[in-house]
Every structure is written in structure tokens, then in C-alpha cells.
Amino acid sequence: MCLTKHFRLTLLTIGCALLSANSSAATTLKLSHNQNKSHPVHHALQFFAEKTNELSQGELKIRIYSDAQLGTQRESLELVQKGALALAKSNAAELEAFSKQYGVYNLPYLFKDKTQYHNVLRSRLGKTILQASSDNGFIGLAYLDAGARSFYAAKAIKHPDDLKGLKVRVQPSPTAVNMVKALGGNPTPLAYGELYTALQQNVVDAAENNIPSYTLSRHHEVSSIFSQDEHTMVPDVLVISTKVWNTLTPENRQALESAAQQTTEKMFELWANSENQEKQKAIKQGVTFVEVEKAAFKQAVEPMYQEIQQTHPDLYKLVEKIKAIE
């Protein structure tokens, strides 16, 4: 009896040890983004974390750090390159410095409408662009819809002439800088977290972004006129360190890819709802939304495409492939 009791106790001890080992075997991946917890980006990444945990059967856990807690987008990308951070949300504007193919998304009036934009993000070509940065320390897992970007300031911007002499905050993207120059403004690259104060203190006169980012970052408090020229549709991108990726099992890579694909689709829904809600909320708070005739803007940036055709023929071929997608 004593031996039997001792044997059972031994089995119980071993079983507890195995359970402990299995629970500690879960891999935690840190994910950084620069938006607040009210932003649809954060809700989409929470969805991604839940799906990843589910599809990996608990082997992968995503820990999300919002509000640029782990640094700016640029700083987070550099940590991802080194493998010190597993995942980060960036955008095509920031990624252009790491892979030229991402730069195509920063071109003004590239897409004819939102349907085509979404279809490009779902396409095989879109997936190819996600892999373009693999030699630079990370790959793209998912696109996150970030809507259309427009200008906002203390005055309406209905025509490119209205931008003349204005210091316009842009993302650190050569294409974004060239676009504002083509439209007659003075492009001023600036970290997103510094923009509210820069607008408030007239360090910059105007900025450009999508509606939810404009309202949820409270920029409408210091720039109350939003002119809907919709010059670009620049997707956010969820990236993973290649160093981290290479340590994962094939099954866990598949779990991440599947969760990421579902997150792209979820974000389309989250974005549409957020954009509508934030616009109505902003109107009630005194924001003026201005409809813009886009023809003059499109004409002003046409030389950008002519220059790309002459100086970067490979990139121009990518433009043509995108425009061919319905």
C-alpha cells in the first residue's frame, strides 16, 4: 500500500511538473504600436493577439504595447531589425526607407477608389510587397486599413494654391515630402507624437492624416478644418522580425499568418465603423469637413509619375500592375 501510495504521489508530482513545463513553454511576442487604445489599430491588434493564441493552441501569446511605449515607429522598427522586439505596427511611409517597394503606396491618387485599394492589399502583388523587406531584418505579416489621408489646418485647403507657404507636417517618407512640394507646400517631417504641440505652437501650419487619427489624437482641437482631398491611401503594416520568425515552428508561423490574414479583413470593418463614428463626433465638436474638387490636386502631382517612369522604371512597373487590379 505504501509503495502504491508513493507511486501515485510520484506520478502526481511528475504530472504537475509536466503541466508547469507546458504552460511555461508558451512564447510571448512583444508588439509595439504608436496609437492610443481607442484607435481601431489597437482593437485590430487585440483581435490579432486573440486569434494567434487560439490558432497556436496557446503556444504563442502577443503582448501589446500601445501609445509608443517602446519608442516611435522608427525606433520600434530598428528594435525589430535587431530581434530585440518581435512585432511592430508601422506604415508604408515609414517602411519606404527600408524597402523601396513600400514607397509605391505613398504615391498620391494611386488608387481609383477604396474597393481597388482593398483588393490590392488582398492581392498576390500585395503579399509580394510584404516580403520585400526580408533582407532588412523583417517581413510584413498583414496590412491594416488606414483609410484616406487628407489635409487639415486652421483654414480650408480646397486647391493646391491654398498650401503655398504653409509648413505641412509629413511622415518621414521621400514620396510624402515630394508630394507636398509638388502641391506647393513646405514639407516638414516630424514625429507623430510631437504633432499636437507643433500645431498648437505654430511650428507647423497644417498636417495630413486620416479622420480617426485626426480626432483620436485630438488634433481637431488645434486644427478645426479638415479638407477631404484624399490624396493618399497609405496602409499600416504589421511586421515581424526575421530573427524571431526563424525561431518559430512551421505550425506557429502558419498560425501567425492565418491570424494576420483574418486581422486584415477585420480591420476593414473596424476602420469603416470608426471613420463614420469619428467624423460625426467631430462635427458635433465644431470641426468643419470640406469637400474638395480633386482634379487640380491630381494634375499637380502628375509630374511625380513622369519622373518615376524615367528614373525608377521598376517602381513604375509596380504602379502599372497596381492600377491594373480591379
Q: In sequence order, what are the residues at sequence separation of 6 or more whose Cβ sits closer than 8 angstroms to the Cβ of residue 57?
A: none
In this chain, the answer to whether the domains covering 29-145+235-284 and 149-233+287-324 adopt an identical fold is: yes
Give 29-145+235-284's CATH code, choosing from 3.40.50.720, 3.40.1390.10, 3.30.1330.10, 3.40.190.170: 3.40.190.170
242: nearest Cα among 169, 135, 161: 135
Q: What is the pLDDT of residue 93?
A: 86
Q: What is the mean pLDDT of each run of 10 residues along the chain (326 residues)?
A: 43 39 72 94 98 98 96 94 97 89 94 96 96 94 96 97 96 91 96 94 97 95 97 97 97 98 97 96 97 96 96 95 95
Domain ranges of the chain: 29-145+235-284, 149-233+287-324
Q: What is the pLDDT of residue 16?
A: 40
Q: What is the pLDDT of residue 120?
A: 97
**CATH says 149-233+287-324 is which class?**
alpha beta
Its pTM surpasses 0.75: yes
